[in-house]
Amino acid sequence: MKTIDLPASWKAELAGELEQPYFQRLARFLEEERKAHRVFPAEEDVFAAFRLTPYERVRVLLLGQDPYHDEGQAHGLCFSVRPGVPPPPSLANMYKEALVDVPGFTIPGHGCLTAWASQGVLLLNTVLTVRAHTPNSHKNQGWETFTDAVIRKVNDRPDGVVFVLWGGHAQKKAKLIDARRHTIIKAAHPSPLSARSGFFGSKPYSSINAALRARGAEEIDWRLPEVG
């Protein structure tokens, strides 16, 4: 990584991580990977979630796992794809659940979730990069340590945050969260392999808004506008 494109609020919180030996090793690994392979997302999009959702605006943290690994998909937000790219199966299932859980929701003609991010939903993957067409190829290179630090920093916020943990991988991170101060919402992953085993019918969007209302916070408008 030639540049660490974190906005000021996140850089202030995570500056100590950027100086750690593990992060320096990760940066060198990524430089070599980009020389030898295609890596997603593009370098300028690796920290897109942080740019769109500054630290002081985080109200919801939705945790994903690995970036999409096919052409044109990943752009730095978990579950989201660029406009013009068909929604992958997990996101399509998220839309199906929103149809029955969000009043007025209509499935948009795109899979871009920036409208959620701009309202304070941090769309965080536990690993922020991947080699093209090779899922989990950047696992255990240091990203997990960094994103654990992100979760801890959000946990440190004095006002309550809603943490959304779908699937076993995400739910392992519950140990980093103080459930006395924050709300943790768990369900099966929206993947086609597990959506019918506890994601469909879990009503995550209305549950998130109920938790926000209980804290006197503004709800998320889950409806997605069409994008050009």
Note the Cα 146 to chain centre separation in Å.
Answer: 14
66 annotated active-site: yes
Q: What is the pLDDT of residues 96-138, one digit of tens each?
A: 999 999 999 999 999 999 999 999 999 999 999 999 999 999 9
Place 148 in a pLDDT band, splitting at 50, 70 and 90.
very high
Q: Are strands 162-166 and 60-64 parallel, antiparallel or unpaired?
A: parallel
Q: What is the pLDDT of residues 32-46, one digit of tens each?
A: 999 999 999 999 999
Q: Look up the CATH number of domain 8-214.
A: 3.40.470.10
What gap in Å lies between CA 210 and CA 225, rounded to an integer? 22
Record the tokens describing residue 126, joined without a space.
Answer: 């536990």
Helix or strand or coil: residue 4? Answer: coil
Catalytic residue among 5, 45, 66, 148: 66
Are residues 174 and 184 in contact, defined by beta-carbon separation less than 8 angstroms? yes
140-150 mean pLDDT: 97
Q: Are strands 130-131 and 39-40 parallel, antiparallel or unpaired?
A: antiparallel
